[in-house]
Structure 1
C-alpha cells in the first residue's frame, strides 16, 4: 500500500486588520484568524489523468498548540505497483469556520492546498522529505495542469522596454536556504553522519535563516506591490503606458499570498532501492567502435582490438570454439557496451600527466627528431575525415609549440585536444592566436559539426573575415548550414544571435553587401520554409531568429535603408510567380491554352508585372536590375511540372530569360552549380579556363525556384537534326573553311575545353542519370550539363559508367584519332590534377552540408548509417566524394587512372542502349 507521512506546516501569517473584520464578519469565526496555532486537519487524495482514483484519506484530530505538525502515516487504498505514471497527490489543509465560505464542506473551508506528482522527471517514485508550496484559500486539484503545483515552474524572462531580457532576481538568502535544504535531505537520508549536539545547533541556525528570508521576501513583495500601484495611478487612462506596464513588468497578484507564504513538508517512505515506473530507453551504444589504428610511422599496432560478443544465441554462427568442430562446447557471446563507451582509466591518467600545464616549459624548446618528423608529416597529410589514433594525438600535443609554424597542423591539433579537460582546453585556447594563419579550407573544417568549442569557431570566423565578398559568396551556402552547429537557442525569448560569432559575422557582411545579403536572405528563407520531417521545428526557429536579426540590422543601417524594402519586393514577386506557376501546373488545359493563360496574366495591368518602378534587383542575379517583363515572349515548357519561361526586361532594355517552376526541390541543383562555380574559380587560379557555364540557380522555397535560361540545344536534338553529327552542328553555327574540321577555332576550342571540364567535374561529384537530353550545347560551342537529380554516385540506370563521355561528344571533336581529342584528354588530366590540390576545400564544403535537407546527401547518410553503425553519417557522404579524388595515388598514377576512365566511358555499350531506349520513350511521349 502507498503510505505518506505528514510533516509540518511552516509559514508566516498576518491576521486581518480590524477594519477588514468589521466589513467581513464571517472572517472572525475562521480558526486560523483567531489563533496562529488553530487546529487544522489534512486530506490526501490520489489523482491521475485529471481524475480521482481513490477516496480522500484524512488525518486524525490532533491539538496543534505547540506547532502545526502531523506525525502520522496515511495509507492510501492502492498498491504502489498499481500506480499510473501520471499519479499526483492532492493535499488539502482544512480550517474550521461555522459561517462557511468558498469551497466549504460543512464547517470546513480550505486553508490551502498543494499537488505533488508521485514520480519525478526520471520516472522514479518520490522518496524522503519534500517541500511543497501551499496555495492559500484553495483546495488542491489533481488536474494534469494543476493550479496548485507543489513545485511551481520558474517564471520566464520577459523583455523590457530596452529589449533586454529581465529575469526575476533571486535573493542570496533564498539560494543559501535552498542549499541548506538540500543538505538537510542528505542528512535525513543518512548520507551525512549524525552528530546530535552539532545537529541541534545547525537546525536552530537554519530556522533563523528561514525566518530572515521570509521577512525579506515579504518586504520585497510589499515594495513591488506599492510600486505597481503607484505606476498605475500615475498612468491613469493612458493606454500606451498601461501596455508598457503589462509587457515590461511581472506584476504580482494583489492577494494575501504575498504576506502569508506557507510551505508544507511531507515525508515519503524510503526504500533500499529506487522504485522506477519504467526504464528510459537510451540510444544503444556501439558494441565497439574501437578499430586498429595504424601508427604514425605506417606500421600496425600489435595489440588487437578487444573482441566483443553478443548474447546467447545471437550472432552465433559457430557453435563452439572451433567452428569446424561439431563437438566443441557452445560459445556464449556477451554484450559489453562499456568496451565502446568507456575510456581506459589508465589512459586518462596518462594523458593528464603528459599534458599537464607543468610540462609547458619543457615542451617549449622541444624539437622532433627524424622519426617524429616523418610521423608528423604523415599526420599532416591526412584528409579532413581521417581520425587520429591516441598515439598520434599525443604526438601532435607533445610538439604543438613546434607545429605552430605549420598552418596545416592546426586542425590536427584541435582534434588532439581533450576539450572536456579544463586545463588542457585552456592551454589550447591560449595557443590559437600564436598559430600561423590557416587556409580557408581549414577554417571551414573548424566550423563543422565535430568542433563545438566557441573559441575554436571564433578563430575560424576571424580567418574568414579576410575573404572578400566574391570569395565569401562561394562558401555562403555552406556557412548558412554551419549555423546549425552554433550554440544558438531556437527560442525567441532567449535573446538574439550575438552569442554566435558566425551569425554575427554573416549578418554584418550581408548587411554591408547587397549581393551577399540577397543570397543570405533567400538561403535563410528556404530553411524557414522547409517543413519536411527531416527539418525539425527547432531548426526552423533557429534560422527564423537569424533572419529576424538580419532584417533588424538592415533597418538600422544608415547607408542602405531601402535594402529591406527591396528584399520584401522580391518576396512579393516570387509569391506571384509561385501562384501562377501552381495554377498553370494544376490546370487541366492543354499546353497552348496554358501559354495563353500565362501571357494574359503577365500582361494584365492589375498584376503590375509589365513595369517595375523603381527597378528591382533580380533575386536570381542581384547584379541585374529588371524593370518589367515581356509577356508575349513567355512560354510553358512541355514537362510534367510545366515550368514557366519568363523573359525579364533589364534596365538596359535587354532580355533576361528565367525558368521558374514549383513542385521541385532545387537545393540539390543549387549545390552542384555552386560547387561547379567554385571549381571554375580554382581552375582559373591555375591559369586553366575551361569555358564552364555555371548558370545560376536559386531555390526560393523547399519546392520552388528559379533557373537562368541559357539558349542551347540538347545533344539529342542536335544529333537528330544533323543526322547524328555534333560536328555538323558546330560547322553550321561556326563555319570557317580555312580552319581544321571546318569549325571556327574559338568555337572548337570552347567545345573541347568545356567537354573536358564537365567530364572531370561530373565525375568528381558523381553526377548520375546522364543522357543526351540533359547534355546541352550552345551555338558558340559551350558544352554543359543540366538536371542534377542524382549525385554522389547514385544513378537510376544499371551499369552506368563513372563518367559520361559518349561517342557523339567525341565525334564533335573529330573522332578519337584527332588532335582535338588528344587536347581534350590533356585538359582532363590537367584539370583533375589541379582539383586534387584543393580536395580538402571541396570535402569540407560537403562536410558542412551533411545536415542539409538535400535528397541524395540524406539518402546516402541513411544508407551509410545502416551499413556501418560505427561511422558517422557525415563521414559517409564525404567519403563518397573523397574516393573519387584518389588522394592515395601519385600524380602519374592519377593520370593513368583518369585515362582508364576515359577509355571505359568510350567503350561502354550499356549506356548506348540506355540512351536509345530513352530517346524512344521520349518520342512516344511527344
Structure 2
C-alpha cells in the first residue's frame, strides 16, 4: 500500500439505509406508575417501547420509528432492528439519533422513562459503529437540537474505569483488538469482577440503553454528498473494498475544467460517434439507466453517458438520463444535446412527464415532451391532466407550448375541457401563481369562443361548450348558497334536511329542473337536468355535507356528496392514482374489483364526491358480527363457500388485495373500520385520505390495513381463499413496480401543489414513495418481501387496541 492510499469508506458513497439494533435497557427498573385497577384486577406490568428519531442539523428527518412493546421484568430486551428512511449518504456531521424510552402502562398517558441523544459521527468525523451504551436522562424526552441537552455519551471527565473497559470491549467486538483466546478468557473474568464491585459500591444509579450500530468492513469518514472527488465508487450491500486516493487530488482546478470542456467539445463529435462501450461499460450504463427518476447522477456517470451518447440513441429509455448529464449553461453543449434529442428513438409518455418536471428548464426539452404528449389518446391524457396543469408552474412563460397544447386538446373534448377548467380554477387562489393561471384561463376562454367560428354548426361549437362550463360554475355557486343557509338553521340534522328540501322546492326551484342539461362536473359525460328534493339529504357531520340526487338525461339518477369547508385536493390526488393503478393492472389482465369513486375539488375548501351505496366495516361488524353474515343477506348459496356465492367472495378477496397493495404504496394512514366501506356485491374500498406518504396520527400503524375480520371472511390464514388473496397482492405489487417511474414522475409534478402531505417536504415524500416499490429487489424477492408485510399486518396486535379506542371515540361523538 502506498503512502497516500487509504482503506476507508466515505459516508456520501454509502447508498444504504441507516440501520441499528435496539438491544436492552440496563440499570434500575423505572419507577412504576400507580397500579391501575381494571375489572377488579390490579395491573402493574410495565410496558415499554423505544421511540427512535433522526435529527439532521437539529431538524427532524422523516417520521419517528417505534419498537414493539416489552412487557417483562428487567432486563427489558427488545433486540429489534430499526431501519430509517434516511441513507448514510444523506447524513451530515451533526446527524443525531434521539432515543426515548416510553412507558404506556397507564391507559391515560405515556410517561417518558428516559432519553439519550447520540451523534452518529464522532468529534473526528468518523461514523460510530458497534455497541453503544447510552446513559439515559430520566423523565425527559430526547432533544435533537445542536448541541443537545440529553447527550447519551458520558463526558470524559465523568468516565470511570467501567466506561473505559466498555469502550475497549466495543473495539474488541468490532475486531479492532486482536483475539487471543487464553488472554481473552482471563480479561473477561476480570471485567466481570470489576462490574460486580462497581455495582456493590455505587449501586445501579443510572439507566442505560444498549444500542448496536451497523458496522462496516472499514472505517467510514464523513464526506458531504456531492463533494468533488475523482473516485466515486458507491458502496454496495456486499461492503466491497473501495480504494480512495488523497482528496486533494480530486479538487477542481482550471486545468481539469479545461480537460472536461475538451472532452465534450464539438471537435470530439467525430471521434465519439463511433465509440462503443465494452462489457464493463455496458453494465455500468445499464445500471445508470435503471436509476429511478429521483436519483441524481454523479460526475463520473454523467461523463460516461456523454461519451457513449451516440450509441445510446436507439435506446428510448436512455434519453432522460442523457439530458440530465448535459451542462445547459454551455451553449455549444446544449445545442449539440438538443440536436441529438430530436433524432433520438421516440420515448414513452412516462419519460415525457419526467421532462416536464422542474429538473428540466430548457424550453426545447419541455417542448419535446409536449410533442410526445400530442400522440396520446384523450383517455390517457385525462389520466395525467391533473399533473400537467401543475407542470405549468415550471414553465418559463404563461404562453408556453404546454399551455397551448392543453387548451387545444380541451377545445376538442368535453371531458378534458371540464376538468381543465376546474383544475385551473382551483389554482387561481394560489398567491404565487394566480397571475399565471389567470392568463391560462383567459387563453382557454378565448380558444373555446373562437372554436365556434371553425365549427360547421353553431350548436356544436366551442361557444356552446363554454356556456355549459359556465353553467357548472353557476350550479356550484347556488349549492354553496344552499349550504350556507342550511348551516344557519338552528336545531338537529332533521331540521336542516327539511330546510334543504324547502329551498330546493321553493326559492331555488329552478334547480329542480334546469333550462338546459349541464355536464356533471364529476363526470362530464353525464348530463344532469335537475335535483330531486325528496331524495336529497344532509349527513350528520360537523361540516354538514349535502347528499344530492340529480336527474340525468334518459330518466336516470346519480348521487353526489358536496362538501364545503374541506380541502379535497389530497383525496382527489389519491383517487386519481388509484384510478391510474387500476388501469395499469387491467392492462395486465388483472381486475381487482377496485372502486375508484370520483372526487373533484371545485375550490380550495369545497368539492364534489361520488356517492357509492355502501356501509362501513364498523357498522357491518356491529350489526352482523361477521362480514360473511352480511353477505348472506344478499348472496346466499348453500353450495357456495361459507354459504355465499363464489362470485361475491372472489370480489371481496380481490378488492381486499388491490386496496392493501395500493394503500401500502401510497402510504395512506389513519385507517380504521369507519373509513373502510363494503358494497352489497362484495367490494371493499377505502375513503378519507387525510394522511398519505407514511404520515399517520396513530402510533404503531401496521404496514397495511388487514384486520383479522377480513382474514376470517376469507376462511382464515390457512384457507385457499386467503392464499389467493396473497397471490393477488404479490402479482399486483410486481405489476405496479414496473410502472414505478411513471408514478414517481406524476408525484414529482405535484411538488408545487398545495397538497399538505406533499407541500411540507416534496423531496422527502417522493423518496418515501420510491422506497415502497423496493426497486432493489427482483420480482421473486419482492414476492417474499410483500408476503412478510402481509404477515406482519395480520399479526399486529396494537392496531386492534387503537381500533377499540377509535370506536369509543366515534360512539361518544
Q: Does the C-alpha gap of structure 1 residues 821 and 321 become closer, same or farther in structure 2, counting only changes over 3 Å?
A: closer
Q: Which moved more, 1:649-658 or 1:392-401?
A: 649-658
Deviations 1:798-857 (A, max 9, x none): 001110000111122222222111111110010001000000000000000011000111
1:792-803 aligned at under 5 Å gives the runs 792-803=693-704
The alpha-carbon distance between structure 1 residues 355 and 553, as it changes in their structure 2 partners (threshold 3 A), is same
Match of 2:607, SS state, is strand
Paired position in structure 2 for 1:850: 751
Structure 1 counterpart of 2:620: 718
Q: 1:306 to 1:391 in 2, by over 3 A?
A: farther
SS at match of 1:699: strand
Which of 827, 836, 843 is matched with 2:737 structurally? 836
Distance 1:306 1:883 in 2: 18
Determine helix, strand or coil for the equivalent of 1:557.
helix
**C-alpha separation between the residues in 2 aligned to 1:821 and 1:372?**
46
Q: Which residue of 1 aligns with 2:678?
A: 777
Runs (5+) with no aligned partner, structure 2: 1-9, 16-88, 95-118, 127-152, 158-222, 229-250, 456-460
Is the 2:593–2:651 contact (alpha carbons within 8 Å) kept by the matching residues of 1? yes
Match of 1:913 in 2: 801
Larger CA deviation: 624-633 vs 559-568:
559-568
1:733 equivalent among 627, 631, 634: 634
Deviation (angstroms), 1:349? 1.8
Residues 566 and 316 of structure 1, relative CA distance in 2, 3 Å threshold: closer
Residues 804 and 586 (structure 1 numbering): CA distance in 2 closer, same or farther, change over 3 Å? farther
Give the structure 2 partner of residue 649 of structure 1: 551
- Out of 880, 905, 914, the position equivalent to 2:768 is 880
Assess, with a 3 A threshold, how the Cα gap between structure 1 residues 811 and 319 changes in structure 2: closer, same or farther.
closer
The answer for the alignment partner of 1:585 in structure 2 is 487
Counting only pairs closer than 5 Å after superposition, residues 289-688 of structure 1 correspond to structure 2 as 292-293=12-13, 345-489=254-398, 497=399, 500-529=400-429, 535=430, 537-558=431-452, 559=455, 560=461, 561-604=463-506, 606-688=508-590
Q: Which residue of 2 aligns with 1:689?
A: 591
Report the 3-state secondary structure (helix = DSSP H, G, I; strand = E; otherwise coil) of the residue aligned with 1:625.
strand
Aligned with 1:700: secondary structure?
A: strand
Partner-residue secondary structure (3-state), 2:560: strand
Using the TM superposition, give the Cα deviation of residue 598 of structure 1 relative to its aligned residue in structure 2, in angstroms: 0.6
- Whether the 8 Å contact between 1:474 and 1:678 is mirrored in structure 2 is yes
Distance 1:321 1:684 in 2: 52
1:839, 1:336 → 2: CA distance? 28
- Counterpart residue number, 1:892: 780
Deviation at 1:920, TM superposition (A): 1.6
CA distance in 2, matches of 1:448, 1:642: 39
Compute the displacement of 1:339 (Å): 7.6
Give the match for residue 192 of structure 2.
none
Task: Indicate the RMSD between aligned Cα atoms, in angstroms.
Answer: 2.8
Gap change, CA 1:709 and 1:360, over 3 Å in 2: same
2:718 pairs with 1:817: yes
Q: TM-score, normalised by structure 2?
A: 0.69
Matched, 1:759 2:660: yes
The alignment partner of 1:720 has SS state of: helix
- Alpha-carbon deviation of 1:409? 0.6
| Cα distance, 1:291 vs structure 2 | 7.4
Whether the 8 Å CA contact 1:308–1:339 is kept in 2: the answer is no
Distance 1:408 1:640, change over 3 A: same
Q: Residue 579 of structure 1: CA displacement?
A: 1.8
Q: Is the 8 A contact 2:414 2:525 kept in 1?
A: no
> What residue number does 1:786 align with?
687
What per-residue deviation string (whole Å, max 9, x for no partner) do you get for residues 296-320 of structure 1?
xxxxxxxx999999xxxxx999889
**Residues 291 and 580 of structure 1, relative CA distance in 2, 3 Å threshold:** farther
Q: TM-score normalized by structure 1? A: 0.61
Inter-CA distance 691–588: structure 2 relative to 1 (3 Å threshold): same
Partners of 1:916 and 1:633 lie apart in 2 by: 34
Provide the rounded CA distance (Å) in 1 between the counterparts of 2:606 and 2:615: 24
Deviation at residue 371 of structure 1 after TM alignment = 1.1
Match of 2:219 in 1: none
Q: Kindly state the Cα deviation for residue 361 of structure 1 after the two structures are TM-superposed.
A: 0.7
Partner SS state of residue 524, structure 2:
coil
Structure 2 counterpart SS, 1:617: strand
Closer, same or farther: CA 349–875 of 1 in aligned 2, 3 Å: farther
Equivalent residues in 2 for 1:199-218, closer than 5 Å: none
1:512 alignment partner, SS class:
coil
Q: Which has the higher contact order (CA 8 A, sep 6+)?
A: 2
Over 3 Å counting, the alpha-carbon distance change for 1:804 and 1:347 in structure 2 is: farther
Q: What is the rounded CA distance, in whole Å, between the counterparts of 1:600 and 1:410 in structure 2?
A: 62
Sort the Cα spacing of 1:451 and 1:743 in 2 relative to 1 into closer, same or farther, 3 A. Answer: same
* Alignment partners' CA distance in 2, 1:845 and 1:358: 39
Relative to structure 1, is the Cα distance of residues 346 and 674 closer, same or farther in structure 2, using a 3 angstrom cutoff? farther
| Structure 1: 4+ residue segments shifted above 6 A | 304-309, 315-326, 335-340
CA contact (8 A) 1:850 1:877 kept: no
Q: Secondary structure at the match of 1:408?
A: helix
User: Rg: which structure is higher?
Assistant: 1
Q: Displacement of 1:428 after TM fit?
A: 0.3
Per the TM alignment, residue 747 of structure 1 is displaced from its structure 2 partner at its CA by 1.4
* Change beyond 3 A, Cα 1:480–1:666: same
Q: Name structure 1 gaps, 5 residues minimum.
A: 1-289, 296-303, 310-314, 327-334, 490-496, 530-534, 862-873
Q: Distance in 2 between matches of 1:521 and 1:805?
A: 39
Contact 2:504 2:511 in 1 (8 A): yes
CA drift of 1:625 comes to 0.5
Work out whether residues 93 and 121 of structure 2, in 8 Å CA contact, stay in contact via their aligned partners in 1: no
CA shift for structure 1 position 525: 0.4
Q: Is the 8 A contact 1:793 1:802 kept in 2?
A: no
Could you tell me how far 1:739 is from its partner in structure 2?
1.3
Distance 1:346 1:579, change over 3 A: farther
1:740-775 CA-to-partner distances (Å, cap 9, x unmatched) read 211112211111111100000000000100000000
Distance 2:469 2:505 in 1: 24
Query: Is the alpha carbon distance of 1:807 and 1:394 closer, same or farther for their aligned partners in structure 2, counting shifts above 3 Å?
Result: same
2:179 maps to none
Offset of residue 466 of structure 1: 0.9
CA deviation vs aligned residue, 1:404-446 (integer Å, no higher than 9, x gap): 0111110110000000000100000111111111111111011
Tell me if the contact between 2:356 and 2:366 (Cα under 8 Å) persists in the aligned partners: yes
After the TM superposition, which of the residue ranges 468-477 and 345-354 deviates more from structure 2? 345-354
**Residue 704 (structure 1) shift:** 0.2
User: The residue matched to 1:692 in structure 2 has which SS?
Assistant: coil
CA 1:728–1:459 in structure 2 vs 1: closer, same or farther (change >3 Å)?
same
